[in-house]
Amino acid sequence: MNIKLTSPAAVAAALAGLMATAPVLAADYVQAPGTGSTLAFATKYDGEVFTGSFPGFSTRISFDPANPAAGTLEVTIPLAGARSGNSDRDSTLQGEDFFNVAKFATATYSAKGFTKTGDNRYVANGELQLRGVSKPVAFTFDWTPGANPVLTGRATVKRLDFGVGGGDWKDTKTIPNETAISTVVKLQAK
């Protein structure tokens, strides 16, 4: 067998191959199903750190490190599943004073256009929609390239901007306003 690379068939095959892989080169990724991806928060009560997670969150990102300004990010976060290691606290989190999941079941974060700030490090100036409030939140992330890239990111959310922890819980000496958010997202091509 003797296939010449310059043969019309080979050229056609190469072109077809390029077309097929074109969406991947445009770098659209979704969060890989299953475990491995995490979205967590950390804050304090009376000076003592406690943490929680948002299982079931999902991520879509369009990203080419060569052109971060064209990137987009969409994260959907179901709030009723928030887990903090204590069922009493979880039910308080779901209640009216915190996430009010009966009225606002999910939070979303969406960003368009990333800025490179360092080696494999970018910042997204997106909008967080939480509890009926939409406000800008900066999200910094590290990008580990590969066939299945990994996004490792963090943000600081001011809970009172979104009315999370109202009523009796407003005092920032008890629960600080700044809540640390961290995430690891295992991605796969869309």
DSSP string, 140-158: EEEEE-SSS-EEEEEEEEE
- Do the strands 28-31 and 178-189 form a parallel or antiparallel pair, or are they unpaired? antiparallel
Among residues 118, 77, 104, 75, the alpha carbon closest in space to that of 164 is found at 104
**Tokens matching residue 168:** 């009796």
To which residue do tokens 């406000």 refer? 135
Question: Cβ–Cβ contacts within 10 Å for residue 119, how many?
Answer: 7
Which CB sits closer to another protein, 23 or 167? Answer: 167
Which CB sits closer to another protein, 58 or 177? Answer: 177
d(CA 6, CA 112): 42
CB of 90 to another protein, least distance (A): 11
What do you get for the CA distance between the two ends of the chain, in Å? 36
d(CA 177, CA 173): 9
Which CB sits closer to another protein, 71 or 165? Answer: 165
CB of 174 to another protein, least distance (A): 6
CB of 34 to another protein, least distance (A): 24
Question: What residue ranges bind another protein (CB under 8 A)?
Answer: 45-48, 50, 85-89, 92, 97, 167-169, 171, 174
Which CB sits closer to another protein, 91 or 125? Answer: 91
CB of 86 to another protein, least distance (A): 6
Which CB sits closer to another protein, 52 or 71? Answer: 52
CB of 164 to another protein, least distance (A): 14
